[in-house]
Amino acid sequence: MRLEVGHIFIKDIQFGTESKIEDGVLYVSEEAVKEVVLEDEHIKSVKFDIARPGESVRITPVKDVIEPRVKVEGRGGVFPGVISKVDTVGEGKTYALKGMAVVTAGKIVGFQEGIIDMTGPGADYTPFSKLNNFVVVCEPVDGIKQHEYEAAVRFAGFRVAVYLGELARELTPDETKVYETYGIKEGMEKLPGLPRVAYVQMLQSQGLLHDTYVYGVDAKRTLSTIINPTEVMDGAIVSGNCVSACDKNPTYVHENNPVVHDLFEEHGKTINFVCQILTNENVYLADKQRSSDWTAKLCRLLDLDAVIVSQEGFGNPDTDLIMNCKKIEAEGVKTVIITDEYAGRDGKSQSLADADVAADAVVTGGNANQVVVLPKLDKVIGTLDYVNTIAGGNEHSLREDGTIEVEIQAITGATNETGFGYLSAR
């Protein structure tokens, strides 16, 4: 499967009378994009704002971050099964608006939503401070249930991203990246002697606003499966969860999954990047056993030499992570796991809720309990009403002088290594 991704670099975002991209500037008509958001009857009103790198701006509570894209050639469209009709994606040509994102915010849905600071120490922990962010702040109708509000805001963000992505359809990309993988037999013939490597991605699927969607299907309703890594670049996986902000993979991260991109960098050189294996994270033991059994079975059927396993969330999913590691290693496949840690504010607590001697190659994104003091900023997009109640905060987080003391788990995409959350660690 071969996919060309054309990059359209966005240097700035401005409001204008019409929506267009001109000389690297994205102009957005507020009236036009307002109509896009208010298609959903669950949203009473919406406000838009722009946050640029280095500005004294704080965005909170953040729900999702999305990179606008448009399918130019090939089957299907972006966000298949969610916005576009169900069809297999990942081939042809797709354009992406780089250097910007759509950020959805508004009243809190779940207590684990986060913060993006565009400057100061908080900005150092999140990759989204480096982007020009078009922020969509939604006000729900009265009496709405949490899951209905979450879905309304999630879909509003996707609709806005698709609307903005369409503006690039007739443009010429500033650069183009090509990604290609092969069928099993073809790959063995074209890349003989290279180790066969796959990426096992654990998707948050514990329910109660802890959900991820694959082609529009809630991941907890699926068994472990195989996809081509280019499919995620067309939005085949989208976020719908409210886990701790530093643990959550927003849709932007799925579209730009750094593990996928790092493996493609070595594909055909040092490894044969065979595929991506998706598996879910469950609540009940029997479900954990079933999913990890299937993941290990797929690794063996594909005759893999090694895999990288990444985790989303912490605590309960630590068990899924270790079960996957143990069973894959037992099949003779070398395994590297990527995780973050919750080791307490002093760093002396047990980092993971589970462990095993088979997990002897571990990459960490750092301690999410590490405390940081965020300075008072000049502007807040959204509201500070929930800072004391989000995961990583406490009743004293918001101080009288306007500064905020929180654990870095409260920062969207946070990691001790600047990058895409814990997935960026190497």
Q: Which contacts qualify for 285-289: CB closer than 8 Å, 24 or more apart? A: 288/319, 288/320, 288/323, 289/323
Query: For position 416, what pLDDT does the model report?
Result: 44
- Judge whether 167 and 26 are in contact, CB under 8 Å: yes
- Judge whether 127 and 418 are in contact, CB under 8 Å: yes
Give the integer Cα–Cα distance in Å for 322 and 140.
40
Q: Which residues of the chain have pLDDT under 70?
A: 110-111, 415-426
Structure-block tokens of residue 277: 């294996």
Query: For position 207, what pLDDT does the model report?
Result: 83
* Catalytic center residues: 242
Query: For position 47, what pLDDT does the model report?
Result: 97
Nearest to 103 by CA among 117, 83, 119: 117
Q: At what angle do helices 30-37 and 146-166 cross, to 10 degrees?
A: 140
Query: For position 426, what pLDDT does the model report?
Result: 28
Apex 91 CA angle, 84 and 70, nearest 5: 45
- Judge whether 279 and 325 are in contact, CB under 8 Å: no
Query: For position 354, what pLDDT does the model report?
Result: 85
Strands (E), 205-285: 212-214, 217-218, 225-227, 237-239, 272-281
Query: For position 20, what pLDDT does the model report?
Result: 98
Give the integer Cα–Cα distance in Å for 211 and 237.
11
Give the integer Cα–Cα distance in Å for 79 and 3.
16
